[in-house]
Structure 1
Amino acid sequence: MKASSVLLILTTLLTSGPIFLKAQSISRPYIISGFVNDSTNKRPLDFVTISLKDKENVVIKTTLSKADGSFSFDKISPANYSVVLISIGYNSKTISLELKNSDLNLGQISLGSQSYKLSEVKVVADRAIIKQETDRINYDIKADPESKGSTVLEIMRKVPLLSVDGDDNLMMNGNKSYKILINGKPSGMMERNSKDILRSMPASSIKNVEVIFSPSSKYDVEGVAGIINIVTDKKVDNGYNGSINLSERFPLGGPATGGSFTIKHDKLGASFLGGASQYLSPAAENFNVRSTTGLNPTNLIQNSIKKSDVKTAYVGFDISYELDSLNLISGQFNVSRNKLLGDAIQSSLLSNSSGSIQGYTLTNDIHENGSSADAGLNYQLGFRSNKSRLLTLSYRFLEYDNKLLNNLNITDRISYNTPNYIQENDGSSREQTVQIDYVHPFRRINVEGGVKGIFRTNNSAFNYHSYDEIKASYENIPAFSNLYENKQNIFSAYNTYQFNIKTWGFKAGARIENTIVNADFFSTSSSVRQNYLNVIPAVAISKKFKDLSMMSLTFTTRMQRPGITQLNPFVDRSNPEYYNSGNPDLNPAFTNMVYLGYNRSKKTTLSFAAAYMVMNGLVMPVSTYDPVSKVTTARFANINKAKVLRSNVYISQPLSSRMNVTFNTDVRYIWSRTFINGEFVDNSGPMAYLNINTGYRFEKGWRVSTNLTANTRSVGIQENKNGFIGSSFSLNKELIKDKLTLTSLITNPFNKYRNNIDERFGPGFNQKNDARNFYRGFAFSVNYRFGKLKSQIAKNKRTIVNDDSVER
């Protein structure tokens, strides 16, 4: 049985009996056809956009006229419709019709040439959900009917080149090293808390998502996989528009609210994005086993139960004012806060061939608080000789703080003498950026250039307090405590050239960056000094075809500059048998990538991509085992080399006027080699990701959707994780002229729990962690849209984009 047939049966079974019977009583489908020509010379017109709308003015099908001017819509049921024809340079035309029990040929339809400016043309047909440019793919969330009842993270599962793993980690090209922007600008709330923000942000507040797989030289070179740009800008014309969303998810998750608001009056425009959520993770079991080899082999068994409560809130605000047609001032402000409270209880038993060596029960009371804020100001100057010629001056300030406290108490001791202890880590980052950009279009070539300076200071104060039974108080242990400061000054300049020759597009450029690092450990009077200069090229070629398809070939080099979490030497001892630590001696990593992509948006939307990546010195946690202390430590390091060959296929296919199915697949093969404790550790293997989504639209605003996600085993430099299959089913009802949407959702109804298995290995040890997490869930949401807006708020064409430091 074909996949489309299975999906149709599955979605139909979700509906009630009366609706099912009504769907079965639809009359035999027929064909609506016709020809389009020029009203003056009667010449056939090709590539005319033709939309078929129902009596509620909803677009149900869209097509393009062929070279002979012909077009047709098949599988149409008898009813009242309207046909809308739109073509650049011609007046649009709307034809009302009634389809009875026979095919309908509209004959010759003539379009008259426009006698007014092109800017007055209004395209009213639905936009394609996928659009490809030379260096990016654009996913139109507004064209996705599920956006009204989903979070941004849930929608990301369907976006080409993106995937979401079993722990809600967003991946780009199968990699966690990328940069997230909002409206083309960095945001503090995405710098350190992107997962919680994305899974609480309603998709209804987003316009589209840009996946920039091959960033040009105007972007900082950080981010191995590329850049994800979330666009929230709305269209306004002396009015306002907005949306608000309320939702509840359980048992995993909690209440959430979020929304957006845009207003414009004359030359002043402003947009707002905000929300708050609670994410509850109920108590779940975790089982961990480690086996070591050597002169004194051991076995470690740990059982634990963990739960957590995360509260998140965020606000983003953009404002712009047009002084006149050539001068524009804009600014932005973002702030976010999060708070985590967690509890864990863990039993641990270490043994060898002779019996038990040591054991204990540990309880951990976890407190974590974080906040971020950033503000920016931009001035854009245009020129009367050519309004596409622009000079932009930008300034941005960013700061974020994170405070972590673990209070650990030990009972049921067996040959274990470590006292109770408290560990703290207060981390912060302050950053200032200044930037100048200049764009100069010539007759056939567009030239961009700019200079930039980033001045960043990262601080960490970490302390270890051990309980002294004699003094009956906690005392600081200097050997496990330190005060750390890392200063980074980054100076860069770029130059890019872009031009088109008929259907060919070319973009090439280079970026030079000089990084100066001064790191000081005040408690130990030690320091780290680094100074490195890099020249990074980027080249992209694209070709457009007559069927509106496009192919692109790109080459780019990306750099992964280590961030504060990776550099911070703070040792997390919340599990006495497993330590986690940063490394202040890290160097930047480099990735060379060749990308080939193809996109076609017609009745069937198809996007295909293939890429080959070679990574040198990749910054990753490397696990080693110490047979003396019998502790495994995961410490960030520059691994030797990794290579990835991957492909991505996205297909969106209408099965009928009411049903559509989309496939988003990603297949990768990875090779990695790491030098650990004097020997090479190799790991390789295939990985695959699949997301299938389908929905059926009934009458009177009802819609049912199904979603299936599958991940095979994932391969890392020292680890292998098990695969998983996830599913969800949703029911939507639209009210008040489609402005109010009610959504109910069930996720993974067939499995209450999911076992997340992580197997790690290295010289002298093998370990397996099996975390049992809640998987089945329920959700309800209410989304309301309001206002009426037409034109777009003016904004700077160039602004600060700091993607030089990426941590995931």
Structure 2
Amino acid sequence: MKKIIILAAAISGIVVFAQEKKSDTVKANAIEGITLTKQVFKKQSDRFVYDVAASPVAKGNTTFDLLKQTPLLSSTDDKTLKIAGKNNALIYINGRKTNMDAESLVQLLKSTPAENIQKIEVITVPGSEYQVESSDGIINIVMKKKMSDGLNGNMRMSNMQNKFNGSSASLSLNYRKDKLGISGNIFAGENIQAQSYVLRNGTNLISNESVGDINDPNKNLGGYLNFDYQLTDNSNLALTWNSWYNKSNDSTVDLLNTLRNYNTDGSLKSTEQNKSQNREDAHYYNNSLNLNYELKTDSLGSKLNVNAAYLNYRRFQFSDNRTLVPGTLNDFSLLRQKITQDIPQVINNFSGTVDYIQKFKNDFTVSLGGNFNKTKTDNDTKNYNYSYNGNGDLIATKPDFNHFIYDESIYGLYLTFEKKFSDKLSGKVGARYEITKSLGTSDNPQNTVAQYQQIERNYNNILPYLSVNYAINDKNNISYAFSSRMRRPSFWELNPVKNILTQDNYTQNNPFVKSSSTYNQELTYMLKSSYFLILNHSYFKDIITQVPLQREIIRDGVAYRQLAYIRTNFGDKQEMSAMLGMQKTFFKQYLTMNFNIGVQHNINNGTLDTDPTTGQVFDTYINKTKSTSMVIQTNNTIRLDKKKTWFLGVNYFYVDKQQIELGMLKNLMSLDLSIKKNWNDWTFSLNVTDVLKTNIVEIEDYQSSGNYNYVRNDQFRRGMTFSMVYNFGNQKVKKVRDIEGASDAIKSRTR
């Protein structure tokens, strides 16, 4: 159920962030063998480079599987990739950002053969020329160059079993004939995302507890089509269309809610129970079109790149939320409250970028360019509230409509200078200047915050960047980078929607959320292209997050504790981390090991007592806690035979308890196992994740006021996946040119 996923994002999403910020902490769900050549792991200028071209086990693997085994990269949900110390990873292919929404991009990576990859570049602190949000990092996948014409492809089928069964299939084709290249991908799959929750909040006198399950069925269909035509020896024209459709009908939330009142001596005074039964139907479409022109202006590599793009995102969501109380037979047959919500969202975006790179013979490079984004979101929310008496008879209805329209324009300019002073010393300096103009309008007359009709925000930002790289000798390398970035709120965060979980538990989005700022510093030392030490400091200003606020409400003469997860800016935060890692092969490449151990220190500084959207006052929530925690991760691939056809994977991670925005996150760990067989053009693999069933989220928070909050979220990560991959056709077909999409920076904010 999508509205519960929003709540889950406040929990599991922060958990993911917390784990990743501690280093490349988290598990990779599918373990794949990677036997790497010498110098596979090295530092070059502003990026880490991993050469995987000579890997004998890349055959049959997908690009996504290979990325999860790359040092510094990991995935916690088999859907997103994270970089150590980064909240998100943007995917580039051959230096160009992929023009896809998040879900279809993952399916592309899962259907792209890994043997097409030459190397993987990880940029932990991107330069000014990159359009990235906050502390995002970049993964650049460099494909092998293939010169012959023809057709090749890849078919993949998989079946997954955890609490429920899910299946998927994909087909990718790549065709090249002279100057024309065509590539396409289609993916289809279905699964049920299952979760169980235990939620508790209250004081020593009043407590609420909600226990139950969430089941969210999903059917997905998507793909892309890319045309690339070489106009001349120095110019190319490309057109890309991406599409994705998700249908999620009959999502359910079933929770048993218990209210307990206590006497001052701690004895139980009274108990009251009700049930929350929520049903939801939702579906969304994501379509984008991108036109790209590239012109090489000299033999040194100077070039001009121009993009124009259009993005259309449409989401429709209808939910029925019911609160049931015990009837005469104590069977929860009486309806106390019903809330129906119709929450559509339409996003349209027009984008354009121009980039020019001028290279000089003295190893000096100047890059400059600009971008423009024009976005309009239309959110026409309709809520109907129904109240019932003790006999289940309707006594009141209260409609609540809010038509919220958000217009945003972003203008950006950047300039960077990069110089290689010698074989040992290189550096880059640059800055990005961004102008943001936005206007949110609402026709909600019932809003209690000064009857707002318009929310206008205009701001300018200068975002500097600096990096220096020094190769002390053949075995030692040291580098430093500084970057300043913004994190704009996602469009769904700005839509002032209240998502109901139970009668006294909900999430509230906020049109007043403003952009946050991030300042990153990173010092890296590498030894023998196998061992590395990364020291990082990040300062976050006006963090955008969800804050759990409580207050006492009186209903029918009974005191209740209301819990609201408010989306807002919540103070500042500092994170300091040190990560020591190793990437190395042993026993004549029979064992490949990635091992990391790290420590992180968090300093939180946030206070909130009011919902900025409604003006309602809650008990003050304070998070000024410091915490220091440790993380250990190891990924191991064992080759089982001389012919390099059988591989065993063993992955393990441990994350110590740490303070996050919602409270103290208890420790987590996971053991994952896999076995893979390469047979001619086929690859068969079996992956078992969270073998010990230890990757379950638990968060506790105790305030000095006496308020407490507890969350236990089991996402049923223990599961088994069997997959088959078949490669066919001419494997030397030249790869179709992948192009950067002008609207990619906007797409990340639609979900």
Q: Shorter-chain TM-score category?
A: 0.7 to 0.9
Counterpart in 1 of 2:7? none
Question: In structure 1, the residue corresponding to 2:513 is in which secondary structure?
Answer: coil
Asked whether 1:522 is paired with 2:465, we answer no
Counterpart in 2 of 1:373? 287
Aligned counterparts of 2:386 and 2:94: Cα–Cα separation in 1? 50
Residue pairs, 1:1-12, within 5 angstroms: none
Shift of 1:547: 2.3
Query: 721, 743, 759: which one pairs with 2:700?
Result: 759
Higher relative contact order (CA 8 A, sep 6+): 2
Residue pairs, 1:37-186, within 5 angstroms: 129-139=40-50, 155-165=66-76, 170-177=81-88, 179-181=90-92
Shift of 1:318: 2.5
Aligned counterparts of 2:170 and 2:438: Cα–Cα separation in 1? 39
Counterpart in 2 of 1:255? 167
CA contact (8 A) 1:245 1:258 kept: yes
Aligned counterparts of 2:490 and 2:403: Cα–Cα separation in 1? 17
Asked whether 1:457 is paired with 2:389, we answer no
Query: 244, 248, 259: which one pairs with 2:155?
Result: 244
Shift of 1:725: 2.3
CA contact (8 A) 1:166 1:724 kept: no
Aligned counterparts of 2:52 and 2:203: Cα–Cα separation in 1? 50
Query: 473, 477, 491: which one pairs with 1:564?
Result: 491
Residue pairs, 1:348-497, within 5 angstroms: 348-353=257-262, 355-356=269-270, 358-383=272-297, 386=299, 388-413=301-326, 418-444=336-362, 445-467=364-386, 477-479=398-400, 481-497=401-417
Q: Residue type matched to 2:313 in 1?
A: Y
Q: Residue type matched to 2:707 in 1?
A: F
Residue pairs, 1:536-615, within 5 angstroms: 536-544=463-471, 546-547=473-474, 550-599=477-526, 605-615=530-540
Aligned counterparts of 1:147 and 1:279: Cα–Cα separation in 2? 28
Aligned counterparts of 2:314 and 2:274: Cα–Cα separation in 1? 34
Shift of 1:250: 0.8
CA deviations over 1:467-514 (Å, ceiling 9, x no partner): 4779999997443x3111111100111111111111211111111000
Shift of 1:244: 2.0
Instruction: Name structure 1 gaps, 5 residues minimum.
Output: 1-57, 64-127
CA deviations over 1:22-72 (Å, ceiling 9, x no partner): xxxxxxxxxxxxxxxxxxxxxxxxxxxxxxxxxxxx998956xxxxxxxxx
Aligned counterparts of 2:157 and 2:528: Cα–Cα separation in 1? 34
Asked whether 1:692 is paired with 2:635, we answer yes
How many positions carry a matched residue from both structures?
Answer: 675
Identify which range, 233-242 or 639-648, moves more after superposition.
233-242
Percentage of pairs with the same residue: 20
Aligned counterparts of 2:632 and 2:80: Cα–Cα separation in 1? 13
Cα distance, 1:472–1:151 mapped onto 2, change above 3 Å: farther
Aligned counterparts of 1:764 and 1:675: Cα–Cα separation in 2? 16
Cα distance, 1:149–1:623 mapped onto 2, change above 3 Å: farther
CA deviations over 1:644-695 (Å, ceiling 9, x no partner): 1123344222221241232242432211110222674212223425133231
Cα distance, 1:457–1:789 mapped onto 2, change above 3 Å: same
Aligned counterparts of 1:340 and 1:154: Cα–Cα separation in 2? 27
Counterpart in 1 of 2:594? 663
Shift of 1:316: 2.3
CA contact (8 A) 2:120 2:140 kept: yes
Shift of 1:356: 3.2
Counterpart in 2 of 1:713? 657
Asked whether 1:785 is paired with 2:705, we answer no
Aligned counterparts of 1:59 and 1:662: Cα–Cα separation in 2? 9
Residue pairs, 1:185-200, within 5 angstroms: 189-191=100-102, 193=103, 197=107
Aligned counterparts of 1:575 and 1:210: Cα–Cα separation in 2? 46
Residue pairs, 1:169-318, within 5 angstroms: 170-177=81-88, 179-181=90-92, 189-191=100-102, 193=103, 197=107, 204=114, 207=117, 209-229=120-140, 235-252=146-163, 254-281=166-193, 285-292=196-203, 297-318=205-226
Aligned counterparts of 2:62 and 2:396: Cα–Cα separation in 1? 46
Asked whether 1:333 is paired with 2:241, we answer yes
Q: Residue type matched to 2:244 in 1?
A: S
Q: Residue type matched to 1:672 in 2?
A: N
Cα distance, 1:196–1:465 mapped onto 2, change above 3 Å: farther
Q: Residue type matched to 1:267 in 2?
A: K
Query: 612, 616, 623: which one pairs with 1:681?
Result: 623
Q: Normalising to structure 2: TM-score of the pair?
A: 0.81
Q: Residue type matched to 1:660 in 2?
A: L
Shift of 1:236: 4.3
Q: Residue type matched to 2:416 in 1?
A: T
Counterpart in 1 of 2:228? 320
Shift of 1:716: 0.8
Aligned counterparts of 1:509 and 1:356: Cα–Cα separation in 2? 65
Q: Residue type matched to 2:315 in 1?
A: N
Cα distance, 1:322–1:772 mapped onto 2, change above 3 Å: closer
CA contact (8 A) 1:270 1:793 kept: no
Asked whether 1:743 is paired with 2:655, we answer no
CA contact (8 A) 1:380 1:796 kept: no
Question: In structure 2, the residue corresponding to 1:565 is in which secondary structure?
Answer: helix
CA deviations over 1:709-754 (Å, ceiling 9, x no partner): 3332243123222222222222222222xx2112223333444x75
CA contact (8 A) 1:312 1:338 kept: yes
Structure having the higher Rg: 1
Cα distance, 1:279–1:682 mapped onto 2, change above 3 Å: same
Question: In structure 2, the residue corresponding to 1:744 is in which secondary structure?
Answer: strand
Counterpart in 1 of 2:675? 731
Aligned counterparts of 2:549 and 2:338: Cα–Cα separation in 1? 25
CA contact (8 A) 2:60 2:678 kept: no
CA deviations over 1:191-230 (Å, ceiling 9, x no partner): 4x47975896677487365432111111125232323445
Asked whether 1:533 is paired with 2:460, we answer yes
Aligned counterparts of 1:280 and 1:593: Cα–Cα separation in 2? 38
Residue pairs, 1:498-509, within 5 angstroms: 498-503=418-423, 504-509=425-430
Cα distance, 1:680–1:704 mapped onto 2, change above 3 Å: closer
Q: Residue type matched to 1:759 in 2?
A: E
Aligned counterparts of 1:165 and 1:609: Cα–Cα separation in 2? 22
Instruction: Name structure 2 gaps, 5 residues minimum.
Output: 1-32, 264-268, 446-451, 555-560, 610-619
Aligned counterparts of 1:805 and 1:785: Cα–Cα separation in 2? 31
Aligned counterparts of 1:129 and 1:139: Cα–Cα separation in 2? 5
Identify which range, 503-512 or 651-660, moves more after superposition.
651-660
Aligned counterparts of 1:692 and 1:535: Cα–Cα separation in 2? 40
Q: Residue type matched to 1:289 in 2?
A: R
Q: Residue type matched to 2:576 in 1?
A: L
Aligned counterparts of 1:545 and 1:474: Cα–Cα separation in 2? 79
Question: In structure 2, the residue corresponding to 1:372 is in which secondary structure?
Answer: strand
CA contact (8 A) 1:519 1:527 kept: yes
Q: Residue type matched to 2:235 in 1?
A: N
